[in-house]
């Protein structure tokens, strides 16, 4: 099982930006699909964005045009640039990977993002 460590969360005002980062172990990281999920209080965990090893991206409708997922294979990292943040973006954000299987079944610890004035 790979180790995933997310960081970069914090408190930001509406309209502000944050950049989340996830460090992943594994010598074949560049072949893994990576993703970000989030869970708000009282809600189920939901997809935010995914990025395949070939560069294909997928975004939830509620973040399209505001969030960007990217990866740095040399550093075994996946990032999530979050712009134009809204209070409803408040959640714990989790890093995930399919570990090359096609299913996102490996998870890291989350990082809290709070959007409030």
What's the pLDDT score for residue 100?
A: 87
Q: How far is it, in rounded angstroms, from Cα 21 to Cα 69? A: 10
Residue 38 to residue 107: CA distance in whole angstroms: 12
| pLDDT tens, residue by residue, 32-90 | 999 999 999 999 999 999 999 999 999 999 999 999 999 998 888 999 999 999 999 99
The conformational region for residue 8 under phi > 0 = left, psi -120 to 50 = alpha, else beta, is left
9-38 in b/e form (b: 16+ CB < 10 A) is: beebeeeeebebbbbbebeebeebbbbbbb
Closest CA to 50 of 95, 88, 115, 3: 95
pLDDT of residue 12: 98
Mean pLDDT along residues 1-10: 90
Question: Any idea what DSSP says for residue 32?
Answer: S
User: How confident is the model at residue 27, as a pLDDT?
Assistant: 62
Reported as a pLDDT band with limits 50, 70 and 90, residue 28 is: low
């Amino acid at each position: 099982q790979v180790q995933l460590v997310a960081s970069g969360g914090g408190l930001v005002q509406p309209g502000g930006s944050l950049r989340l980062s996830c460090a992943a172990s594994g010598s074949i990281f560049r072949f893994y699909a990576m993703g970000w999920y989030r869970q708000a209080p009282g809600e189920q965990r939901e997809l935010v964005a995914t990025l395949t090893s070939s560069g294909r991206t997928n975004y939830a409708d509620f973040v399209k045009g505001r969030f960007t997922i990217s990866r740095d294979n040399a550093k075994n990292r996946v990032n999530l640039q979050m712009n134009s943040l809204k209070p409803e973006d408040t959640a714990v954000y989790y890093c995930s990977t399919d570990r090359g299987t096609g299913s996102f079944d490996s998870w890291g610890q989350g990082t809290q993002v709070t959007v409030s004035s």
